[in-house]
C-alpha cells in the first residue's frame, strides 16, 4: 500500500478527525491525500494540520457559479518535500536583467517542455481564468469574509439539523460542516420537495442529503423544515437560525491564514476593480496585437459569444438538477454534440472532458475499452510520430501505454515506411496511432490515408489529435480521412477564450463502433452502454462554456466555418511567403506550402549573430507583439500561427517587425558589441526613464518603427533569469514585492 484518499468533510457531510489515521499511515510509509472542501477549511483544521501530505479538490465554492457543472478550477497542494513532483504550473520568484523581482512559471511543463514518453503529466488547458476569479474572491473577502461565509453555511445546516431532530427525524450526520443526511422515506420527501421547486439528493431509498451555502436564507431554511414536517403530517414551527455553532476542539482550525497584505487591502468594490484593472494592463493580449502562438491558436473570441456567460439561466444551474429544470441546457448540449459529430464526420460525441488533455485521455481509454471488449486488452503499444502534438506522449504515458516514436522525413511528413515497419513489428500488441493533422510541423500529411490503413491493417485504432482542427473544418474531417476517434480543443478551433490557460473543454468524437464506449457518469445515464468511467465530476464537464461554441457554430454556419478555415491557411501561407527571403520556413511539405501555421528557422542565428531565438522572442515585445511559440517542435525556431482573425495590415506589421529585428541582429554582429538592442530586450519604461549607458538610443530600444508608438505596450520586467526562478519556487502567497 502506498497511498490513501480521504474526503474532508466526508460524502455524507461528517467532519472527522483523521489525525490518528494519518499518523498510522505515515508510520507505514503511506502518503495521505485529502479531497478537501476549501470553504470548510476556514473553520476546520487544514489537511496539513491533521497530517495529510497532499490536498486536492475544486475551487467552485469560492465565488464560481455552478453553471450546470462548470467551469471551475481544480487545485492541488502538497508538502514542500513533494513540490517538484507536482504536474502543472508553479509560480516562482526570479530576477530580471536589472535585478528586479519577477514572477514566472517555474519548471514549465507546457506542451513544448513535456518530455514525451517520459512525461508524468499532461496539463494542457489548466483552468487559469477560473483560478484567477477564485483568487480575486479570496482577496476581496479575506480571512474574515471566508470565515463569515463558512459560518453562514454551517449555521444553516445546524439549524435544520436541530429542527428535524425536534420533529423526531434521525440525522445520521452528527459532526458536520454544511451537509447533513437524514433518515426519511426518500420518495415522499422528493415528491413534496419538487412540488415546491426544491432540489435534494437521495443517496438511498431511506435517506435524504442536503447541503447549504453562504447565501442560504432564513426563508429557504423554513421551506426545508416545512417539507419534512408535511411528510409526517405535521405543521412546521417557525425556524430561528442558530447564530453560532460550537466546533469540537479536535477539528477546529487554530492556525492563521490570509495574513499577507494582499488579502487585507481591497475591501471595497472600487479598490478591487482598480486592482484587477492594474493586473490586466500588465498583460499583452489580443486587445493589444496579434498573438501568433503556433499550436495554441489565439483567435478572436467574439463579444457576442461571451454574453451568455452572464445569464443566470446558464450560471445558476446545479449539474444534478432534475431534467424538467434543465430543458434549455439539454437541448443546447444535444445539438452541440450533433454539430461537432457532423463537423468531424463521426457518429457520436461526448462533451464531458474538461480540457484537451482530458479529451486525449478519454479518447485513449475508449480505444482501450474497445480492444478489451474484443478480448484484446493486451494491446498497449501506441505509435506517435515525432510531429505529433506535444501532449500526445504525455497522455499515452498517463494511460499506461507503451510509446513507439515514428520518424518524419525532411519535408516534415511522417515517414510512412518507418510507420508501416513499426506497425507490423508491433501488430500483436498494437493499440493504435496518435496523429495530428495537419501535423505540428504545419503540414498536411500527403499520405494520411496510407498511414491510417497501415495502422488498421495491424489491428490498431487511429486517434486523431484535433488540436489543429481549425485547418480542417469545412474542407475535410477525421471521419472522412479514416480516423476512429478525435478530440477537439474548443479554445482553439471553436472560439472559446484561453484565459491564460483556460477555461477549456475537450470534446471527443468517435466512429460508430466506439459510440457505446463514450464516457458514462455515476449519477446520470449518459454515454455509451459499455462506456468508460466518467472523466469529469459532472456529466457534461464545463457546461457553462458550451454556449460560446454553440453560438460560434450557429452564427457562422457551414459557409462561415469553411471560410474561417480557408483564411487561416491563406494567412499562414501569406506570411510564410512574405518572409521567405529573410526567414526560411522549416517544413513546407511536398507542395511548398504550409497548413495553418509555419515554423521559422532561426537555427543559424546563434552562429551568425550570437543571438538566439529567445532573444528574438523578447525583442518582439518591444515592437508590441507577444512572442510566437518558441523552440517547439524544433529547437531554435519560432512557430507562427496568424489564424483567420488577423487583418493583412496586422500581419504586415508583424512581418515588418521580424525583418527589422533581423537587421538589428546583422548590425549587432557587424559591431561585435554584446551590449545590443536585441540581447537586452525587452526594455521597460522604468529603464528608459533612468540612466542610459547602452550604445544604442532610447528611441531605438522602445520605438524601433514609426507605428510602434501607437498604444505602446511596455513590459513590466525585462529578460528573466530562468535558472534562478526554477530554484526559487513560491508555493504560497507572500509579499514578494
3-state secondary structure of 136: helix
All cell numbers assigned to 382: 501506441
Q: Whose CA is closest to 65, among 295, 271, 314?
A: 314
Positive or negative, the Cα torsion across 383, 386, 392, 397? positive
Q: What is the pLDDT of residue 112?
A: 42
Instruction: State if pTM tops 0.95.
Output: no
Distance CA 460, CA 457 (A): 7
What is the C-alpha separation between 281 and 712, in angstroms, rounded?
12
Structural contact between residues 63 and 213, judged by C-beta atoms closer than 8 angstroms: no
- Residue 698's φ and ψ, nearest 5 degrees, are -60, -40
The string of pLDDT tens digits covering residues 462-492 is 999 998 999 999 999 999 999 999 999 998 8
CB 548 within 8 A of CB 301: yes
CATH 3.40.640.10 corresponds to the domain 346-555: yes
Is the Cβ–Cβ distance between 507 and 565 less than 8 Å?
no
According to DSSP, the β-strands at 90-95 and 101-106 are antiparallel
Q: Where are the alpha helices (DSSP H) in 463-512?
A: 478-481
N-terminal to C-terminal alpha carbon distance within the chain: 43
3-125 and 346-555: same fold?
yes
| pLDDT recorded at residue 497 | 86
Q: Which CATH architecture has domain 3-125?
A: 3-Layer(aba) Sandwich (3.40)
Q: Which residue has the cell 477564450?
A: 497
DSSP bridge pairs for 434: 463
Pick the CATH number of 571-710 from 1.25.40.20, 3.30.379.10, 3.90.1150.10, 3.40.190.170: 3.90.1150.10
Q: Whole-angstrom Cα distance, residue 216 to residue 371?
A: 49
Q: Which residues of the chain have pLDDT under 50?
A: 110-112
* Residue 392 DSSP one-character state: H
DSSP 590-650: TTT--SS-EEEE-TTHHHHHS--HHHHHHHHHHTT-B--EES-SSTTEEEE---TT--HHH
d(CA 350, CA 359): 9
Domain parsing of the chain, residue ranges: 3-125, 346-555, 571-710
Conformational region of residue 295, where left means phi above 0, alpha means psi within -120 to 50, and beta covers everything else: left
Are 575 and 598 a contacting pair, CB within 8 Å?
Answer: yes
Instruction: Give the model's pLDDT for residue 498.
Output: 83
DSSP-derived secondary structure letter, 626: B
CA 269 to chain centre: 28
Please name the helix (run of DSSP H) or strand (run of DSSP E) that holds residue 622, with its range, or none.
helix 613-622
Comparing CA positions, the residue from 541, 438, 428, 424 lying closest to residue 481 is: 438
Q: How much is the pLDDT for 88?
A: 67
Q: How far is CA 272 from CA 149, 258, 260, 265, in A?
A: 19, 17, 16, 9
Q: Map residue 486 onto helix, strand or coil.
A: strand
Nearest to 569 by CA among 444, 436, 385: 444
Cα→Cα distances 51→22, 38, 151, 288, 515, Å: 5, 17, 24, 47, 44
Amino acid at each position: 500500500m502506498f497511498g490513501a484518499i480521504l474526503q474532508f468533510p466526508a460524502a455524507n457531510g461528517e467532519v472527522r478527525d483523521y489525525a490518528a489515521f494519518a499518523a498510522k499511515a505515515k508510520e507505514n510509509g503511506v502518503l495521505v491525500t485529502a479531497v478537501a472542501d476549501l470553504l470548510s477549511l476556514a473553520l476546520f483544521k487544514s489537511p496539513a494540520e491533521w497530517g495529510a501530505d497532499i490536498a486536492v479538490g475544486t475551487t467552485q465554492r469560492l465565488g464560481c457559479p455552478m453553471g450546470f457543472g462548470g467551469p471551475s478550477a481544480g487545485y492541488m497542494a502538497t508538502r514542500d518535500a513533494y513540490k517538484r513532483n507536482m504536474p502543472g504550473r508553479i509560480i516562482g520568484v526570479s530576477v530580471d536583467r536589472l535585478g528586479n523581482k519577477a514572477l514566472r512559471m517555474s519548471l514549465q511543463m507546457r506542451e513544448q517542455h513535456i518530455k514525451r514518453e517520459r512525461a508524468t503529466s499532461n496539463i494542457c488547458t489548466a483552468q487559469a481564468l477560473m483560478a484567477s476569479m477564485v483568487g480575486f474572491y479570496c482577496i476581496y473577502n479575506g480571512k474574515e469574509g471566508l470565515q463569515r461565509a463558512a459560518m453562514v453555511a454551517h449555521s444553516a445546516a445546524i439549524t435544520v439539523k436541530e429542527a428535524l431532530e425536534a420533529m423526531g427525524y434521525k440525522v445520521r450526520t452528527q459532526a458536520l460542516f454544511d451537509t447533513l443526511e437524514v433518515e426519511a422515506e426518500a420518495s415522499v420527501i422528493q415528491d413534496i420537495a419538487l412540488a415546491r421547486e426544491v432540489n435534494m439528493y437521495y443517496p438511498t431509498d431511506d435517506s435524504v442529503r442536503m447541503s447549504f451555502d453562504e447565501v442560504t436564507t432564513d426563508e429557504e431554511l423554513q421551506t426545508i423544515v416545512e417539507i419534512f414536517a408535511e411528510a409526517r403530517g405535521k405543521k412546521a414551527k417557525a425556524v430561528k437560525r442558530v447564530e453560532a455553532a460550537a466546533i469540537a476542539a479536535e477539528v477546529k482550525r487554530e492556525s492563521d491564514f490570509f495574513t499577507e497584505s494582499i488579502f487585507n487591502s481591497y475591501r471595497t468594490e472600487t479598490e478591487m476593480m482598480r486592482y484587477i484593472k492594474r493586473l490586466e494592463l500588465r498583460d499583452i493580449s489580443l486587445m493589444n496585437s496579434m498573438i501568433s502562438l503556433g499550436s495554441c491558436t489565439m483567435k478572436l473570441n467574439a463579444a457576442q459569444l461571451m454574453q451568455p456567460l452572464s445569464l443566470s439561466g446558464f450560471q445558476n444551474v446545479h449539474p444534478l438538477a432534475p431534467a424538467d429544470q434543465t430543458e434549455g441546457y439539454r437541448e443546447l448540449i444535444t445539438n452541440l454534440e450533433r454539430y461537432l459529430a457532423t463537423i468531424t464526420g463521426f457518429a457520436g460525441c461526448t462533451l464531458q472532458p474538461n480540457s484537451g488533455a482530458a479529451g486525449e485521455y478519454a479518447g485513449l481509454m475508449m480505444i482501450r475499452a474497445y480492444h478489451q471488449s474484443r478480448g484484446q486488452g493486451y494491446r498497449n503499444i501506441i505509435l506517435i510520430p515525432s510531429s505529433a502534438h506535444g501532449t500526445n506522449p504525455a497522455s499515452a504515458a498517463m494511460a499506461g501505454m507503451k510509446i513507439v516514436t515514428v520518424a518524419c522525413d525532411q519535408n516534415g511528413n511522417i515517414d510512412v515506411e518507418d510507420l508501416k515497419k513499426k506497425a507490423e513489428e508491433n501488430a500483436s500488441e498494437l493499440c493504435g496511432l496518435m496523429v495530428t493533422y495537419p501535423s505540428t510541423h504545419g503540414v498536411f500529411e500527403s499520405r494520411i490515408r496510407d498511414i491510417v490503413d497501415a495502422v488498421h491493417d495491424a489491428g490498431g485504432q487511429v486517434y486523431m489529435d484535433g488540436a489543429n482542427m481549425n485547418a480542417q473544418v469545412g474542407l475535410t474531417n477525421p471521419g472522412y480521412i479514416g480516423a476512429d476517434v478525435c478530440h477537439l480543443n474548443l479554445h482553439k478551433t471553436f472560439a472559446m477564450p484561453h484565459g491564460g490557460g483556460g477555461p477549456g473543454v475537450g470534446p471527443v468524437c468517435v466512429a460508430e463502433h466506439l459510440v457505446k464506449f463514450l464516457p458514462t457518469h455515476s449519477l446520470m445515464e449518459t454515454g455509451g452502454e459499455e462506456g468508460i468511467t466518467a472523466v469529469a465530476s459532472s456529466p457534461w464537464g464545463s457546461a457553462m462554456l458550451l454556449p460560446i461554441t454553440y453560438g460560434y457554430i450557429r452564427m457562422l454556419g457551414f459557409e462561415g466555418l469553411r471560410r474561417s478555415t480557408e483564411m487561416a491557411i491563406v494567412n499562414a501561407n501569406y506570411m510564410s511567403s512574405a518572409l521567405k527571403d529573410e526567414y526560411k520556413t522549416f517544413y513546407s511539405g511536398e507542395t511548398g506550402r504550409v497548413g495553418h501555421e509555419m515554423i521559422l528557422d532561426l537555427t543559424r542565428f546563434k552562429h551568425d549573430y550570437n543571438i538566439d531565438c529567445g532573444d528574438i522572442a523578447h525583442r518582439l515585445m518591444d515592437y508590441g507583439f507577444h512572442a510566437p511559440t518558441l523552440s517547439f517542435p524544433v529547437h531554435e525556431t519560432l512557430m507562427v500561427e496568424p489564424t483567420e482573425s488577423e487583418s493583412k495590415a496586422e500581419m504586415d506589421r508583424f512581418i515588418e517587425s521580424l525583418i527589422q529585428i533581423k537587421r538589428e541582429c546583422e548590425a549587432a554582429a557587424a559591431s561585435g558589441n554584446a551590449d545590443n538592442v536585441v540581447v537586452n530586450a525587452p526594455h521597460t519604461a522604468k529603464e528608459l526613464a533612468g540612466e542610459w549607458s547602452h550604445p544604442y538610443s532610447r528611441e531605438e530600444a522602445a520605438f524601433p518603427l514609426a507605428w510602434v508608438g501607437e498604444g505602446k505596450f511596455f513590459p513590466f520586467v525585462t529578460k528573466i533569469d530562468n535558472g534562478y526562478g526554477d530554484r526559487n519556487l513560491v508555493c504560497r502567497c507572500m509579499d514578494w514585492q
